[in-house]
Structure 1
Amino acid sequence: MTGSMRLTTSGRVSPVRLDLRASADHVLRPFGTTLARVEGRVRVAGLADDPAASGELEISPLAARRIRYRLAFTAGGRRLVLDGWKSITPRHPVRSMTVLPFTLYEDDEPLGTGTLRFRARALPSFLAGFRFPRREDPDALTAARWRGAPGRTEVWYTTVTDPATGTGLWLHHELTAPADGSAAYAHGWAAVFPKGAPVRHARFGPVPWKPEDRGFAADGVRAVPGRLAGAAGAMNWDLTEQPEAAPLFTFPRWSWRRPLLPAAQILPAARATYEGTVRYEDGTLELTGAPGASARIYGHGNARRWSWLHADLGGGDVLEIVAAVSTRPGLRRLPPLVFLRLRRDGRTWPRRPERSAIGWAGALRFRADIGLPTWTVTGRAGLRRIRVTVTQPEDRTLALEYTDPDGARATCRNCERADAQVRLDRWWGRWRPEADWRLDGTAHAEVGTR
């Protein structure tokens, strides 16, 4: 909504703009009252520009004939409240629904009054913004998917950064069902990336696979909801996991439920915190409230080439990228398909995972330049564009080789202390910076080949 406000003290008139997102726990009730949370950006020329405004919205167009906004934001350290009230009337239905008179308060004292209007040109994006979010059970997303088909692989992996020492941690648990129909087996590894010291790692397995409904369990190693524990070589670990965010589907949601793609990846929780102890041959890592995430992969094996990034951007924001070239005939000649999901201020961009991979009829898709020690992803969706540069220093990168279900060898080069630069721009008549993040040794990244 856009409009203007007149300050009580000076009489000055200032342009005002609100970009808001409302979320309710229930579907709107036409003949009742619905309460919703509202958050977004408030801009008052010469006074405020707060991207973290929040408040409440009362929606009662028929029962009480009103729609009321109460929105709190800051302006130069001052806490202000915008209180607006639409009085709905059948005599002027359009005007009463689209015009919002408001008063601006500081400590219950009025600072000014104004009017905001919902413009007709904003209607398409407003209607396209309606969502009926699905509530996913993170525990259900951790359960094993494999049901006996040959030529499949299933992975549970966790990456963590210790905020106290800068040490990175990687726990990888894998089920492999060979394509020749031989018995499925479980294996994996643990790796610690200490700051200023060589990477330490140890493998466990392979051992015969025994189904575990809640997740992964083999050779004394467990990765189940809320718990990661086990031992490998000179390493042992016992961690608790506390989800801090909703699941994130890096690939289209349908691809996890119906495995039509060569593989799919998800995060049962986009962010989580970890507590516990990791012991390795010459050190001990004590984790307290350490940020990280656990992810899942299910498919036919590794891509021909791939890159991956998990970046906790702070403040609840997170970026997940998978860029890959398929091994399937025809697809292997294509450039890497990019699946990029940026969750920022509670919203995920691009709106659909397919958007970054195929664009509109193949145009304007995202692009990846995969290499080492640096790789990049660039792309545009809607009014935003992004550039991500990831650096995996050789001395912080661990190379491991393993076998795919078809017998081919794959090599991953993983770095749990990678650097990343993320630049997000928005189109406002020209491209203008919207956000810029720099991660020094706290990004989790990987480049792999077959």
Structure 2
Amino acid sequence: MRGTVFTETMLGTVRLDTETTERRVRLDLRAEADEVLRPHRTTRARLTGRVRIAGFADDPGAEGELEVSPIARRRIRYQLAFTGDGRRLVLDGWKSVTARRPLASMTVLPFTLYEGDARVGEGVLRFPAATRLVPFLLSFRFPRREDRAQHFPPRWDGTPGRTEVWYTTLTDPTTGTGIWLHHELTVPADGSDPFAHGWVAAFPRDGEVRHARFGSAPWTRPADGFAGDKVTATPGQLAGGAGEFRWELTERPQGPPLFTFPRWSWRRPLLPAAQMLPAARATYDGEFSYGEHSLTLSGAPGASARIYGHGNAHRWTWLHADLGGGDVLEIVAAVSTRPGLRRLPPLVFLRLRRGGRTWPRRAERSAVGWLGVGRFRAGFGLPQWTVTGRTALRRIHVEVDQPAERTLTLEYRDPDGARAVCRNSESADARIVLERWWGRWRPEASWVLDGTAHAEAGDR
């Protein structure tokens, strides 16, 4: 089964009921449908994107629904919720498709603004076909439908010497506090009984990083995720307590899964380990408390990921960066523990999802290049580490800073009994520069994350 993904830009004006002049409007939207779009049928898609109204609104987290029914119902309807002037508004409009004026009816969107049930304005948006038609057509993708719930059940098949991880990282938009929930199944290599354990940590903007561990608890073989020591992680829900920490969170995915390693390595575990994100972008609502602090989360951005393998690498770094506007960057750079492979430079798996497209196109590209030539490079170290790389037409430079006062050091044991140490910061800084070749290297995009990057460096 395949779905449909495309992006669209519309420009126009709106007149608020309390004003006599018009304001300019721009919508940059991404539509995701769970089926292939067929014009003769009615297709519903999720809308996300950015709404800009001059001097009134600039909301990159707009969400809504699109109904595409140009033949069956002769309309294409948009309903989009966003925040403007501190108020929650809904844009409701539709293109009335007619055979008499096919171009105009497909490109003109009259709309009304509502606050609750009250009308607050009206306007007209137009699709600028002269400049946006080609990008619009090239944006269409028909990806395989991935049910994120299928990636949550335990992978362990009874083989000794395995590690399986469910982890979630997020940032409270109100206080800037970073949150880390790590759930792990460890299966000792010596044949001992498997056990569930993990930890929770908070990284406040100002103040001490605090954490607590839970487990070890017997592994009860849950069917839909992680469960141990009264802590659970299942599709859409995270709950539990450890030490001074208590949490009950609802997760709402904002996009399809992302495979950091090659997709085949998750389905067929031939590599020492593999990582993927069932929810590469998600929002979190609920309660999270520790000590004297109590956070009520609403729309907190974050992600959930999975790891399965033989244990930790010899050395590794990791970055998750929500870049805004639906864009996300995930990096894993690692040196294998296996003899011989340990002497090789780090393998870098870098996945940049931008505008609905993922670069590099194949996960293997950043790790091995072309027959070993052109692979991406990682510079390990703390408090700073880097990743650089290029393909034929693009290159990227990533600098990550994990300040000591915002980094938590944790020690634990791999299935083979070896000691592993991770140094994690859910409030790290990152600078990312993406360039494109146009006769010479020119800037294409750049991002600066101040305390909202999620990063880790570790070794055995």
Q: TM-score, normalised by structure 1?
A: 0.75
Alignment check: 8 A CA contact 2:165 2:307 kept: yes
Q: Pick the aligned partner of 1:434 from 415, 420, 444.
A: 444
For residue 234 of structure 1, report the CA deviation from its aligned partner: 1.5
| 1:327 equivalent in structure 2 | 337
Q: CA deviation at 1:382?
A: 2.9
Following TM superposition, by how much is the alpha carbon of 1:290 offset from its aligned partner in structure 2, in angstroms?
A: 0.3
Deviation of 1:280 (Å): 1.0
Aligned length: 369
Deviation at 1:26, TM superposition (A): 3.0
Say whether the 8 Å CA contact 1:72–1:82 is kept in structure 2.
no
Q: Does 1:424 align with 2:430?
A: no
2:147 paired with 1:147? no
Question: Alignment partner for residue 248 of structure 1, among 238, 255, 258?
Answer: 258
Q: Is the 8 A contact 1:322 1:338 kept in 2?
A: yes
Instruction: Name the residue aligned to 2:282.
Output: 272
- Name which of 347, 350, 355 aligns with 1:340: 350
Say which of 293, 312, 317 aligns to 1:302: 312
1:167 is matched with 177
Q: Deviations over 1:122-178 (max 9, x none)?
A: xxxx9xx99652111001111110111100000000001001001000000000000
Secondary structure at the counterpart of residue 140 of structure 1: helix
- Measured against aligned partners, the alpha-carbon deviations of 1:203-223 in whole angstroms (never above 9, x if no partner) come to 011111111111000110000
Q: Check 1:104–1:34 CA distance in 2 against 1; reply closer, same or farther (3 A cut).
A: farther
**Deviating more after overlay: 130-139 vs 278-287:** 130-139
**Number of the residue aligned with 1:386:** 396
SS in 1 for 2:280: coil
Question: What is the one-letter code of the residue matched to 1:172?
Answer: H
- The counterpart of 2:323, out of the listed 295, 309, 313, is 313
Question: In the TM superposition, what is the alpha-carbon distance from 1:329 to its structure 2 partner?
Answer: 1.2
1:356 aligns with 2:363: no
In structure 2, what is the equivalent of residue 158 of structure 1? 168
Q: 1:22 to 1:355 in 2, by over 3 A?
A: farther
Deviation at 1:192, TM superposition (A): 0.6
Q: Taking structure 1 as reference, are residues 193 and 104 closer, same or farther at Cα in structure 2, changes over 3 Å only? A: closer
Cα gap change, 1:223 to 1:71, in 2 (>3 Å): same
1:327-351 CA-to-partner distances (Å, cap 9, x unmatched) read 0111111111000000001111000
Q: Select 2:196's aligned residue among 178, 186, 202.
A: 186
The secondary structure found in structure 2 opposite 1:240 is strand
- Note closer, same or farther for the CA distance 1:175–1:134 as it changes in structure 2 (3 Å cut): same
Matched, 1:217 2:247: no
The match for 1:15 is none
- Quickly say closer, same or farther: Cα 1:68–1:253, change in 2 above 3 A: farther
Whole-angstrom distance in 1 between the partners of 2:148 and 2:341 = 32
Counterpart CA distance in 2 for 1:310 and 1:449 is: 19
In the aligned structure 2, how far is the partner of 1:226 from the partner of 1:169? 17
User: CA–CA distance in 2 between the matches of 1:331 and 1:308?
Assistant: 19
- Residue aligning to 1:207: 217
Alignment partners' CA distance in 1, 2:457 and 2:195: 24
Are the counterparts in 2 of residues 22 and 36 from structure 1 also a CA contact under 8 Å?
no
Amino acid of the residue matched to residue 363 of structure 2?
P
| Matches of 2:160 and 2:150, distance apart in 1 | 23
**What are the equivalent positions in structure 2 for 1:114-125 lying under 5 Å apart?**
none
What amino acid sits opposite 2:242 in the alignment?
Answer: A
Per the alignment, do residues 71 and 264 of structure 1 end up closer, same or farther by CA in structure 2, a change over 3 Å counting?
A: farther
Match of 2:297 in 1: 287
The letter for the 2-side match of 1:181 is G
Contact 2:37 2:43 in 1 (8 A): no
Deviation of 1:22 after TM superposition, in Å, equals 11
Hey, what does 2:7 align to over in structure 1?
none
- Residue 68 of structure 1 and its aligned partner are, at CA, apart by 8.1
- The structure number with the bigger radius of gyration is 1
Distance across 2 between alignment mates of 1:216 and 1:22? 32
1:33 offset after TM fit, Å?
11
Partner of residue 113, structure 2: none
> Quick check: 2:36–2:142 contact (8 Å CA) kept in 1?
no
Residues 413 and 430 of structure 1: is their aligned pair in 2 closer, same or farther, counting only changes over 3 Å? same
Aligned to 2:21: none
- Asked if residue 373 in structure 1 is aligned to residue 378 in structure 2, the reply is no
Residue 81 of structure 1 deviates from its aligned partner by: 3.8
Q: Where in structure 1 are there 5+ consecutive unaligned residues?
A: 1-20, 38-55, 59-63, 84-102, 106-114, 117-125
RMSD (Å) for aligned C-alpha atoms: 3.5
C-alpha distance 35-401 of structure 1, shift in aligned 2 (>3 A):
closer
**C-alpha distance in 1, partners of 2:381/2:107?**
46
Structure 1, residues 188-240: CA drift from partner, whole Å, max 9, x if none? 00001111100010001111111111100011000001110111111111111
Correspondent of 1:399 among 401, 409, 422: 409
Contact 1:80/1:104 (CA < 8 Å) preserved in 2? no
Report how far residue 260 of structure 1 moved: 0.3
Compared CA separation, residues 350 and 287, structure 1 to 2 (3 A) = same
Question: In structure 2, how many angstroms separate the alpha carbons of the residues matched to 1:22 and 1:172?
Answer: 32
The 1:407/1:434 distance shift into structure 2, 3 A limit, reads same
Partners in 2 of 1:399 and 1:188 — Cα distance?
A: 14
Contact 2:369 2:376 in 1 (8 A): yes
Instruction: Go from structure 1 to structure 2 and tell me whether the alpha carbon gap of 1:277 and 1:27 turns closer, same or farther (over 3 Å shift).
Output: closer
Residue 179 and residue 342 in structure 1: after superposition, are their counterparts in 2 closer, same or farther (change >3 A)?
same
Unaligned runs of 5+ in 2: 1-29, 46-67, 71-98, 110-123
- Identity of paired residues, percent? 67
How far the C-alpha of 1:72 sits from its partner, in A, is 8.7
- Partner of residue 454 from structure 2, selected from 433, 444, 450: 444
Distance 1:364 1:182, change over 3 A: same
- Partner deviation per Cα, 1:317-375 (whole Å, 9 max, x = no partner): 00000000000111111111000000001111000000000011111110000110000
Could you report, residue by residue, the CA deviation over 1:74-128 in whole angstroms, capped at 9, with x for unpaired residues?
A: xxxx966444xxxxxxxxxxxxxxxxxxx689xxxxxxxxx99xxxxxxxxx9xx
Q: 1:26–1:34: 8 Å Cα contact kept in structure 2? A: no
